Structure 1
Amino acid sequence: MKKNILMLIAVFMILASCKQQGPEWKDLFNGKNLDGWVKLNGTAEYRVEDDMIVGVSEMNTPNTFLATTETYGDFILEFDFKVDDGLNSGVQFRSLSLPEYNNGRVHGYQFEIDPSDRSWTGGVYDEARRGWIYPMNYNPEGENAFKKGEWNSARIEAIGNSVRTWVNGVECANLLDNTTTEGFIALQVHSINNEELAGKTVSWRNIRILTDNLEQYKTPVNSNVKQLNQIANTISELEASEGWELLWDGKTTNGWRGAKLDEFPEKGWVIEDGILKVLKGDGGESTNGGDIVTTKPYKNFMLKVDFRITEGANSGIKYFVDTNLNKGEGSAIGCEFQILDDRNHPDAKLGINGNRTLGSLYDLIAAPEDKPFRSGFFNTAMVVVQGNHVEHWLNGVKIVEYERNTEEWNALVQTSKYKDWPNFGNAEEGLLLLQDHGDEVWFQNIKIKVLE
């Protein structure tokens, strides 16, 4: 008898231990009412039906959010969602509504719900701030995870600076970002401007959150999903394994010099709080501190530079630069990813068909007008060079593509301001340059991956 009692006690202890080892999920929605939630910003309706929260689209109202009354920092969040075709929606996390920020407008990270042909469900959007920070064109497999007209399952893991998302078990986004560390979770009914969309719905169910023992329950890293690192002047472990290196360390002038100097300029450039700033001068080209260049040349590479434009500013990122070509006034000579305030700088209206606007190959090939620029925030420029093939990217979207060392290229150069520079743009390698054009522009997160 005593032996049987001891065996029963042991079984109960094992069962209790197993129960303690499982994740302790908390339901954010009780299936009956909207206790624990509050509506913000807009007037769209949220109602409870059959254990679901249903959001109903409405004309003449801004984005409407149903937010948790509690805030969350690190967590794993799971939910199911279903959306009518034609609507756009999302789930906010680590989000805020503050009187001092746009009169309380909800802002912060958003898990995108996008039933359009763009197929960016599961991407990460920064609502009312930076816009897209992980568009789904980075992950084609994830683009195909969403099922139109059906219930879909979602998972968000926000742990420290890491944000990762899944749709129907397929990983979609892998983001490193430290802009906001805590905030509420909110369900979005997006504003509409088409009467035909009024009354359409987006629904959520099985909304639950895990806040304890996250390291134990987080999903192992999938190196096949591209990681975007938005934390300034850092290289993640995954980036390092892929061959990325910092081209500027965020603290010193190591690796850079003046384009017409042996050392870094003594004026016109400052380093403040991890930001490299070219200061405002007289608006002239290379008349204050002057351009700065890398101390070594590059041939095949992927170059990323985060930049922020002050109002009316002009600058640029140049590559294939030869500082021996122009010893006189003006900027050093090279191909240029144009940095410009298109709205407020007159250069945007010069050139041919917009080929001096932001992101363009300056004075040669125009970037599209609908490029994804984030006014008032840092933007990521990327230049990819593989032999004679060159690409310009802005915030994850390719905006310019061309081949050099061809008859077409040389003919194009002859129509530009570079026609008098011999063999322009055809060099096998060259220096990289940040331009002083007499306006204040900020740079950070400058990194490079050398290609074979």
Structure 2
Amino acid sequence: MKRSDLPLLLMLFPIAFAQFGCSTQNGKNTGVSAEATQESGWINLFNGKDLSGWKQVNGKADYRVEDGAIVGTTVTNSPNSFLATDKEYGDFILEFEVMLNNDINSGVQFRSISDPAVMDGRVHGYQFELDPSDRKWTGGIYDEARRDWLYPLSLNPEAQSAFKKGEWNRARIEAIGNHLTTWVNDIPVAAVIDDMTSKGIIALQVHAIEKAEDAGKEIKWRNIRIKTDDLKPREGHNAFVVNLLPNNLTEAEKAQGWTLLWDGKTTNGWRGAYKDKFPEGGWKIQDGELQVLESGGGESVNGGDIVTEKEYSAFDLQVQFKLTEGANSGIKYFVTEKENVAKASAIGLEYQLLDDERHPDAKLGRDGNRTLASLYDLMPSEKNKRFLKPIGEWNQARLVVNPDNTVEHWLNGIKVLEYKRGSQEFRDLVARSKYKDWENFGEAEKGHILLQDHGNHVSFRSIKIKDLSSNPK
């Protein structure tokens, strides 16, 4: 080698080094070079040395840098603490690694707000949940200080084993337009479609603690990077979708087999029970809502129940509903219209819709089997008050009838009861119910889906169905 060649080699060496994707951070190999990071469009939010670009906005927890990681430590007598970016981000893909104590909860805020003029500056907005408890909801999407759970991992149990206790875990958040998706260790976890907040801060949470012995426990984050241009969602995210946009279907939902059972505009696909057309009165379509109007006269005395024109045997049904104070209604299924009910509601299995606090039906029946989300007069729902939205707000009903006749009632992402049509247990329930005299009650091979007119003002929207039968009807 000639001496004159040395300067050229020294110039080329960094380029060759970058091509192999090697760099160091605090003396440790990170596996990704600064040059490669910039070339691929990624920007480091944490330099591995200090908290430049971050500021603490709530709480008293301690944040420090140690061994190339941000370390948050729990303290007593403090609300939730947040270390936030000093910039806001709209559309982005965020990746980071995290490790935390096995018995504390944490999270990473995104598109969140901390404004002294709102909630006295309390951080609120979307949160990537970090949950090492036996519940295993890491990667779920929580709405901090606002709407509570948007995507509990009860909706995607296969992803509950993605998080590894006591290890560094890789996390990914994609916030592109209205689409929010999460990954844990390359496993797809949550998918939410929502338009409440389009941009905001990113913040690392140290959760408040209740017991003094929990003080001093640590959460660690490292390799925090973000991409804001040329965003392309990672392929393969096929988890259940929580779509909070009214009467909307995403391409992902369509690919999973979902269709709108109501188009949000017309009466197409629906008719009055025992009738050949939609009721001329008693129902109204307004602002993307299908509303049964107040009549105060009891069951089916105004417009009457409405049913789907099609019949279904095995299906997954989603319905958003909004009750008024004291309201009573229901979602019935396997309605055959063969029974003579004479101006009463059609016969069928019923997902009860009720204001439990104000309607007397909640105290009738047996063991609460006429309360919200129950299998009416047969089986009570096991509800957690945390997952109930107040009267006047939208709640999400989900009703799953599997091909083996196992039926599930869900409320706001949580399964509240399960039974099997035609089983001895089911027939025993029927035998001591108001339906005991109806032959083969609830065991029809197929039937219509019904929205009940019980004389109270109730609104419906985002009615979707997925056919689960091997031979779609």
The TM-score, its normalising length taken from structure 1, stands at 0.87
For 2:365, what is the secondary structure of its paired residue?
coil
- Out of 384, 393, 397, the residue aligned to residue 400 of structure 2 is 384
| Residues 1:248 and 2:262 are matched in the alignment | yes
Aligned mates of 2:86, 2:303 — CA distance in 1: 51
Matching residue of 1:134: 151
The amino acid across from 1:208 in the alignment is R
Give 1:193's aligned residue. 210
- CA–CA distance in structure 1, aligned partners of residues 138 and 130 of structure 2: 5
Contact 1:317 1:435 in 2 (8 A): yes
Task: Work out the CA distance in 2 between the residues paired with 1:188 and 1:239.
Answer: 32
- Residue by residue, what CA displacement relative to the aligned partner does 1:38-69 show, whole Å, maximum 9, x if unpaired? 43454433334444333232344432322223
Give 1:246 shift: 0.9
The one of 84, 98, 104 aligned to 2:101: 84
1:267 alignment partner, one of 281, 305, 328: 281
More deviation, 303-312/291-300: 303-312
Structure 1 residue 410 corresponds to structure 2 residue 424: no
Matching residue's letter, 2:260: L
Give, in whole Å, the separation in 1 of the partners of 2:235 and 2:148.
28
Tell whether the 8 Å contact from 1:41 to 1:63 is kept in structure 2 after alignment. Answer: yes
- Residue 294 (structure 1) shift: 1.0
Q: What is the match of residue 235 of structure 1?
A: 249
Q: Which residue matches 2:201?
A: 184
Change (3 A) 1:352 1:98: farther
Correspondence for 2:370 among 353, 356, 359: 356
Aligned to 1:70: 87
Distance in 2, Cα, partners of 1:319 & 1:134: 26
Stretch of structure 1 that moved more, 310-319 or 107-116: 310-319
Alignment correspondent of 1:298: 312
Q: 2:182 aligned with 1:168, yes or no?
A: no
- How far off its partner does 1:307 sit? 2.0
How much does 1:233 deviate? 1.7
The answer to whether 1:219 aligns with 2:223 is no
Q: Is the 8 A contact 2:44 2:223 kept in 1?
A: yes
Q: Distance in 2 between matches of 1:32 and 1:24?
A: 22
Q: Which residue of 2 aligns with 1:110?
A: 127
For the Cα contact (< 8 Å) 2:383–2:416, is it kept in 1?
no
**What residue in structure 2 maps to residue 96 of structure 1?**
113
Task: Show structure 1 runs of 4+ deviating over 6 A.
Answer: 14-21
Residue 140 (structure 1) shift: 4.0
- Measured in 2, the distance between the counterparts of 1:170 and 1:159 equals 19
- Is the CA contact (8 Å cut-off) linking 2:369 and 2:376 kept in structure 1? yes
Other structure's SS at 1:333 match: coil
SS in 2 for 1:444: strand
Is the contact between residue 72 and residue 206 of structure 2 (CA under 8 Å) also seen in structure 1? Answer: yes
Question: 8 Å contact 1:321–1:430 — kept in the other structure?
Answer: yes
Q: How far apart, CA to CA, are the structure 1 residues paired with 2:405 and 2:36? A: 61
Q: Does 1:332 align with 2:349?
A: no
> Deviation at 1:186?
1.5
- Structure 1 residue 340, shift from structure 2 partner: 2.2
Residues 415 and 141 of structure 1, relative CA distance in 2, 3 Å threshold: closer
Provide the residue aligned with 1:289 in structure 2.
Answer: 303
Q: Deviations over 1:90-125 (max 9, x none)?
A: 011112245776555433221110010111111222
| Number of residue-to-residue matches in the alignment | 441
Question: Relative to structure 1, is the Cα distance of residues 111 and 264 closer, same or farther in structure 2, using a 3 angstrom cutoff?
Answer: same
CA distance in 1, matches of 2:60, 2:218: 14
CA separation of 1:317/1:24 partners in 2, compared to 1, >3 Å: closer, same or farther? same
Q: Which amino acid aligns with 1:264?
A: F
**Residue 350 (structure 1) shift:** 2.1
Offset of 1:226 from its aligned partner? 4.0
Pair 123,406 (structure 1): closer, same or farther in 2 beyond 3 Å: closer
Q: Distance in 2 between matches of 1:280 and 1:267?
A: 11
Q: Which amino acid aligns with 2:234?
A: T
Work out the CA distance in 2 between the residues paired with 1:184 and 1:257.
Answer: 48
**Does residue 153 of the first structure (1) align with residue 170 of the second (2)?**
yes
Q: Give yes or no for contact 1:138–1:396 (8 Å, CA) kept in 2.
A: yes
Q: Which runs of 5+ in 2 are unaligned?
A: 20-34
- Report deviation, 1:337: 0.7
Note the alpha carbon deviations across 1:137-163, whole angstroms, 9 max, x for none.
444443222221222221111112222
Higher mean C-alpha displacement, 94-103 vs 165-174: 94-103
Identity of aligned residues (%): 58
Corresponding position of 1:319: 333
Change beyond 3 A, Cα 1:97–1:302: same
The alpha carbon displacement at 1:425 in A equals 0.9
CA contact (8 A) 1:282 1:288 kept: no
**2:333 is matched by which residue type in structure 1?**
Y
RMSD: 3.1
Show the 5 A alignment for 1:415-426: 415-426=432-443
Aligned equivalents of 1:367 and 1:392: distance in 2?
A: 8
What is the one-letter code of the residue matched to 1:186? Answer: A
1:126 aligns to what SS in structure 2? strand
Q: Which one-letter code corresponds to 2:422 in the other structure?
A: N
Say if 1:449 and 1:389 are closer, same or farther in 2 by CA, change over 3 A. same
Deviation digits for residues 275-328 of structure 1 (CA, Å, limit 9, x no counterpart): 222333427333443322112222222211122333443221110113352543
1: CA distance, partners of 2:204 / 2:360: 42
Aligned partners of 2:188 and 2:236 also within 8 Å: no
Question: Structure 1 unaligned runs (5+)?
Answer: none
- Alpha-carbon separation, structure 1, partners of 2:373 and 2:455: 19
